[in-house]
Amino acid sequence: MNSIRHSGIGMTSERTRARMVERLREQGIRDMAVLAAMAQVPRHLFVSEALAIRAYEDTALPIGLGQTISQPYSVARMLEVLRDGREMQRVLEVGSGCGYQAAVLSRIAREVYSVERISTLLGQARRTIRELRLSNIKLKHGDGNAGLAEFAPFDGIVLAAAAAVPPSALLAQLADGGRMVLPRGVGENQFMVLIERQGDSYQEQVLEMVHFVPLLPGVA
């Protein structure tokens, strides 16, 4: 394992990562487990070498094929809402992308299942996850709208792409008492939404404006 590559140097160093975490605190992130996870995961490994020096800026970055790695604040905020101070057991992520959010999730949940529709991105994510030896993540190729029924129920579900409406299959895979966090809306009109399941009813809360790539059907 290349310790220099993992810890980073210069603009990819642990000191730079610590500054990112301090900025997240200043932006209102309070969950210490989420902040610690963000401090532990080397974001620069999940982007191209050309973009590595920008890895700890609070911005989304391109990862190819029209997809992006979400800005650090968005990841931290969504996971803080998802966790809500609870110990999380089994979590589903829809939209693995480069694998960064799954890596952060692996630090705060016992089991992480992540589904990605684009096989090329999934291959890249698998290589980085393997390099980091994160053994509690299972990455799957599939349509995120369908979820992963064979591993349900999940006490947390988080979407890394915006849906016009919450996919019914995902709602069905949410455990009683579970929480789903997703960007909801189309184009520029998107909001982060929290959905909580209580028996057969679902309570929805709109949180803040966001901007994500759209959740697309099928596989590629």
From the list 70, 74, 96, 114, the catalytic residue is: 70
Q: From CA 156, how far away is CA 14, in angstroms rounded?
A: 29
Concerning whether 70 is annotated as a catalytic residue, the answer is yes
Tokens at 121, concatenated: 């991105």
Residues with catalytic annotation? 70
